[in-house]
Amino acid sequence: MDETASPPGAARTLWALTSGQRGRYAAAVSAMAVGTVFLLLVPYVLKRALDALVSDEVDLTGTLLPAAGLIVLCYALHGFFTFLRGRWAAQASEGITRGLRHRLYEQLERLPCAYHDRAETGDLVQRCSSDVETVRVFLAAQVVEIARVSLFLIVAIPIMLSQDLTMSALSLALVPVIIFFALLFFRRVRTLFQQVDESEGSLTTVIQENLTGVRVVRAFARQDYEIEKFLERNGEFRDLEYRLFRVLSNYWTLSDLLVLSQLGIVLIGGGYFVMQGSISLGTWVLFWWLLRTIIWPVRHIGRVLADTGKATVAIGRIREILDKAPESIDETAGEPVRGDIAVENLSFAYGDGPAALDDLSITIAEGETVALLGPPGAGKSTLVNLLVRLYDYEQGSIRIGGREVRDLNRDAVRSAFGMVLQDPFLFSKTVRENVVIGRSTAADHEVEESARAADIHGNIVEFEEGYDTRVGERGVTLSGGQRQRVAIARALLMNPEFLVLDDSLSAVDTKTEAHILRSLAERRGRHTTILIAHRLSSTRLADRIFVMDHGRIVEQGTHDELLEAGGPYSRLWTIQGALEEDIERDLSRVTHT
Ligand code: ADP
């Protein structure tokens, strides 16, 4: 078993997590202890009153009324301390889980991209939500419950022993059997619990996939198949739930039988001893009452201990994330990153995969506009990922302004790059907030200027609330092209040293594309610009074009040079050129003015 999932490892982790909340926890346990003492005082008072009752010393106002008052008071105080215990335990556990969620979130933000490539998002979400919830329940309820039952036994057993040895033996005869039986049972049904969980998970997945892909499902007339699939999973889930309930009801019935037998033994045995005269009526009632108080929680402890196993597993899974090494901490100074880009003999592969870049060399001068062209999988995005240190390379070198990128401050590198991705991500915030993400202090006119350059201003002002319109689930739904243009506005507003457009115009129509290319041409020289393109229209804007394939540069030069050379670029041009005459016409106006 993994060390983190073993009980001692989990206990250490839990102990570390409770730092800052230990005072509250101690208060909760103390309140619980005081409350327990009051509860266990009740049978003692009862015994005294009863023994007085059967003797001749009974006297209503002197013995019985004070006893009754004392019992009421004990219950009231028990209730009060139970309330305090619940409150403090909840505060402590909420504090701890809040800290835990925060640490997990921070860690996920800092883990290298290579980790996220491998991890499944659904699995990570589950670890951050239901595993944390398991730990919370464990901290809030179960830890205190274990302490409470232990205390019950620690207090009740000496009281019993001090009264009568035989009765003590009778009262506790079945207790170990009850605990052992519960432990054994819940250990055995753990796999069943797990199966039910998994089955529920896969049911949720089917629903989720179908909701997300509802159009695809209809377009391919797959409704019947999907309904069939759902019915099947739904049936499996029902069967498992049913099995679980059957097993559980067997268990509760059997363990009820054990508990009631234990109570019966005390009732009958005690009655017999009272008749014999070897114990007093009060002692009999004391044993009966003590046992009645502790036996139900004791019966439940088996369940609690078994659930502890679940918490141990949850903690182990959380630890797996927390123990991963985050992106190495940067100690380099965050000087601004600028200058020429020089890539030399760069090779790179994702994990154990095939080479994504293969001995690639390329130089881009400061202020230059270059286009990277090539079929999907050629390595264009990989080159950019390495430029901004999303991944670290080992073979070859990338220098910006003469300094090795590997040795530059990661944040400084990333903030020098304005990136627009093919399928940009917008947050569920207003349009303005989405644009100013890279530069939150930008003035309104600057925001508008960038939006105009990205040809999205016109769309935005048509929205009812203009720049304050919310994007996403609770606001407008933007088309792919609009999202791309918001992302371009975002990048332009940063006025970055390096501007990267990774196939960012794929979803806009040709007229809009021409407009944006024109704005970019006007800004020529303000940024070093890298255009990743599939359409040739964008490449006309570039000072130089690099044609990539299989992680290498296969051709480079200006548009005219490459046409002349008669290689892959000119072949592409002939095929696509005919399709794009409109843009061509529009662009020639830009490039020749
Ligand atoms: P392009 O941008 O030219 O389409 P990429 O740089 O995205 O090409 O991909 C280059 C190669 O690296 C491809 O074979 C692709 O499958 C692989 N690749 C890209 N991203 C990842 C990733 N995150 N994990 C594993 N392999 C990847």
Distance 382 CA to ligand 1 centre (A): 6
**Among the listed residues 320, 390, 326, the one whose alpha carbon sits nearest the alpha carbon of residue 128:** 320
In angstroms, the CA 42 to CA 73 distance is 9
* Nearest atom within ligand 1 for CA of residue 385: 6
pLDDT at 356: 92
Are 201 and 325 a contacting pair, CB within 8 Å?
Answer: no
Q: Which domain holds residue 485?
A: 341-557
Backbone angles phi, psi at 36, to 5 degrees: -65, -40
Residue 331 covered by a domain: no
Shared-domain flag, residues 169 and 206: yes
Instruction: Quick: pLDDT tens for 487-497.
Output: 999 999 988 99
Half-sphere exposure of residue 86, counting CA atoms within 13 Å on the CB side? 6
Shared-domain flag, residues 204 and 233: yes
Residue 288 covered by a domain: yes
Pocket of ligand 1 (CB under 6 A): 117, 350, 353, 356, 374, 376-382
How confident is residue 34, by pLDDT bands cut at 50, 70 and 90? Answer: very high
Q: Where among 266, 291, 322 does a domain terminate?
A: 322
Shared-domain flag, residues 243 and 273: yes
Residue 141: Cβ within 10 Å count: 16
* Nearest atom within ligand 1 for CA of residue 548: 3
Q: Atom 24, ligand 1: which residue's CA is nearest?
A: 350
| Single-letter amino acid code for the residue at 467 | Y
* % of the chain beyond a pLDDT of 90: 29
* Nearest atom within ligand 1 for CA of residue 376: 4
Q: Atom 16, ligand 1: which residue's CA is nearest?
A: 377
CA separation, residue 157 to residues 29, 290, 304, 362 (Å) = 20, 9, 21, 81
* Nearest atom within ligand 1 for CA of residue 379: 6
**Among the listed residues 146, 178, 183, the one whose alpha carbon sits nearest the alpha carbon of residue 263:** 178
Q: Tokens 């907030």 identify what position?
A: 433
Q: Where among 322, 356, 381 does a domain terminate?
A: 322
In angstroms, the CA 155 to CA 296 distance is 16
Structure-model confidence comparison of residues 294 and 122, the more confident one: 294
In angstroms, the CA 590 to CA 593 distance is 6
Shared-domain flag, residues 362 and 405: yes
Q: Where among 322, 351, 371 does a domain terminate?
A: 322
Q: What is the mean pLDDT of residues 54-68?
A: 77
Are 513 and 505 a contacting pair, CB within 8 Å?
Answer: yes
Ligand 1 pocket, mutate which of 382, 393, 421 (most atoms under 8 A from CB): 382
* Nearest atom within ligand 1 for CA of residue 382: 6
CATH number, domain containing residue 177: 1.20.1560.10
Residue 471 covered by a domain: yes
Residue 332 covered by a domain: no
Q: Atom 22, ligand 1: which residue's CA is nearest?
A: 350
Shared-domain flag, residues 391 and 275: no
Distance 262 CA to ligand 1 centre (A): 68
Are 489 and 515 a contacting pair, CB within 8 Å?
Answer: no
Report the range of poorest mean pLDDT among 131-145, 197-211, 223-237, 307-321.
197-211
Distance 539 CA to ligand 1 centre (A): 22
Residue 351 covered by a domain: yes
Residue 165: Cβ within 10 Å count: 10
The two tokens of residue 45 are: 């008072």
pLDDT at 474: 61
CATH number, domain containing residue 533: 3.40.50.300
> Would the pLDDT of 593 be above 50?
no
Instruction: Quick: pLDDT tens for 169-209.
Output: 999 999 999 888 888 887 777 778 778 877 877 787 777 77
In angstroms, the CA 226 to CA 210 distance is 8
Residue 136 covered by a domain: yes
Shared-domain flag, residues 284 and 150: yes
* Nearest atom within ligand 1 for CA of residue 551: 10
Shared-domain flag, residues 261 and 296: yes
Residue 110 covered by a domain: yes
Shared-domain flag, residues 347 and 385: yes
Shared-domain flag, residues 522 and 564: no
Shared-domain flag, residues 488 and 471: yes
Distance 372 CA to ligand 1 centre (A): 15
Residue 108 covered by a domain: yes
pTM beyond 0.75, yes or no: no
The two tokens of residue 236 are: 């499996």
pLDDT at 588: 55
Shared-domain flag, residues 553 and 454: yes
Q: Atom 17, ligand 1: which residue's CA is nearest?
A: 356
Q: Atom 25, ligand 1: which residue's CA is nearest?
A: 350
Q: What is the mean pLDDT of the chain?
A: 84
Ligand 1 pocket, mutate which of 120, 121, 347, 350 (most atoms under 8 A from CB): 350
In angstroms, the CA 486 to CA 493 distance is 11
How many structural domains is the chain composed of? 3
CA separation, residue 262 to residues 40, 127, 167, 290 (Å) = 19, 42, 12, 12
DSSP 442: -
Shared-domain flag, residues 421 and 538: yes
